[in-house]
Structure 1
């Protein structure tokens, strides 16, 4: 497991042990960041709702995002995320919280934090939780007007309608993995996403 692009390109990260944490494959991670590459230059806040190893947030920081927020509930994952942040020397640019995604979103709202990019990669058995989280994100208004939500899930999972105020902009498949991209329904800004349409 490594950083694919940006200032930490090639840096090897510590991988989780066992099967409890399923990191996003490097191929999929690279494709996601290629899809949103035009958004990254101006992005200030990246949120990873199911942190795992911290690899997605570290990739975002490496590619120029100013700050990352990472949520996870497992003590082993929190330790791993902190280890990888130290390895990448990003401890001062990331906030790693031992909390579930719903509580994490509440914390961001209370702090007045609005995100440019929000990534969700819940355990496949919890894929439907992403739709509920999107509803909470909308209600709490923590997604910027030009922001993007990315949801990774297994191809066999049929995602419920996420939220009437978000539009489904794009879907990309990589083997058994699918990534869906959402924006505000009122947003006409598809600069990053349109490059691969």
Structure 2
């Protein structure tokens, strides 16, 4: 796992082997950030990274000078790894929260330019993520929600869905705040 852009480009991340995660592959992450590079300015955005795991996506946004990256995961080991790595690389723009993502979303009142969710693929509540994000109005105007999921899953029935990009067994579904 490596940072592919920004101030920490090329940095290899070596999370502990025992973390309960399935990190986004470098290939899929590179494709995602190539798409985003043409759609958003990374400077000064607020990002919410749900099911953060290793912090792979959070570190990528922080490296690209996002103003604030909020990482949420229920594993204390993941949260400790993200905190320690952020401190080691002076990424003061990363905040972490140990929480169940759905409980966190129910209580969240801040708005974000971009929300990224990478839930476990076998989680049956994945369609609730866009539903909750838009019901709670958690995106700023023109904000973007991206949900990573298995390619065979279809999230296109949500009214804010815009497109799905497939990368092998993984897909990114994009939702836009109007």
* TM-score computed with the length of structure 1 as normaliser: 0.82
Do the aligned partners of residues 159 and 139 (structure 1) sit closer, same or farther apart at CA in structure 2, a change above 3 Å counting? closer
Number of aligned positions between the proteins: 177
Aligned to 1:61: 62
Equivalent pair of 2:43/2:67 in contact (CA under 8 Å): no
Aligned to 2:172: 179
1:19 positional shift:
6.9
Q: Which runs of 5+ in 2 are unaligned?
A: none
Alignment of 1:1-197 (within 5 A): 1-18=1-18, 20-37=20-37, 38-41=39-42, 43-90=44-91, 92-109=92-109, 113-126=110-123, 128-159=124-155, 161-162=157-158, 164=159, 166=160, 168-184=161-177, 187=178
* TM-score computed with the length of structure 2 as normaliser: 0.90
Cα RMSD (Å) of the superposition? 1.8
Q: Which runs of 5+ in 1 are unaligned?
A: 188-197
Provide the rounded CA distance (Å) in 1 between the counterparts of 2:64 and 2:20.
Answer: 28
Provide the rounded CA distance (Å) in 1 between the counterparts of 2:42 and 2:152.
Answer: 34
